[in-house]
Amino acid sequence: MKRQGFCEEEKDVQRVLNWDIRVRHYAVTNPAQFVKMIDEWASSFNFPSPGVPTMKMLNILKLARENGITSNTIIQFAGAEERLLAECPGFVSPAAVRFNDEKYAANCRAAVPGMMPASSTAASAAKQKREKKAAAILARTAGKIAAAEKRAAACAAWTEELRKGREEIEKKVQAARKALGVRKNEANPSGIREMKEKWEARLMSVLTLRKEILCK
């Protein structure tokens, strides 16, 4: 018995083939319809979710570039291509073709619905670049300020420790003078001077090491 029509699997394959034929046709003859079809296709996969067929997306991007077509979805496809190339350096994208500036200009003059005019895309890209640069500068500045504040606080703490250390040494000196019966107007005996020099050397040795660590 002769079979009537296609089975469901064959219908699905035919629908895909028909879609591919139509999208290639509209890329050349009807950019607005091409943009509409691509937007609907991307939406069906909840783009930019990982479920989008990568190679088909890249082939669509190739068609767009060859025919000077840009849209928000196409620009997102280009971003996905850049991330893919960064992750897989040896990968050769089928969308690696020259962008058709002549057709793009013609599409812009025709005010194709869904198309992003040159001024819009350029301004958007320039704005994003400026914002990223400004954010990077602010981050670096904030980092430098934080580092400077940290160093200043550490060095202030070190200076305070030095002051306290010298006060302690002076107390020890006065206690030694009192124990030896040295009068107020008399100079320190050689024994006290030697002890004071040792105490100061020990203090500076400890604090110098700490300063190298804290005040970097």
Contact 47, 73 (CB under 8 A): yes
**107 and 136 fall within a common domain:** no
**12 and 108 fall within a common domain:** yes
Q: In this predicted model, what pLDDT tens digit does every residue of 81-117 receive, in sequence order?
A: 888 888 888 888 999 888 888 888 888 888 777 776 5
pTM for this one?
A: 0.50
**98 and 164 fall within a common domain:** no
**25 and 90 fall within a common domain:** yes
Structure token digits, residue 18: 């028909």
**Could you give the CA distance from residue 198 to residue 162 in angstroms, rounded to a whole number?**
15
Structure token digits, residue 82: 């850049």
Average pLDDT over residues 13-41: 87
Q: Would 126 be classed as within a structural domain?
A: no
Range(s) of the domain holding residue 207: 131-214
Average pLDDT over residues 130-157: 76
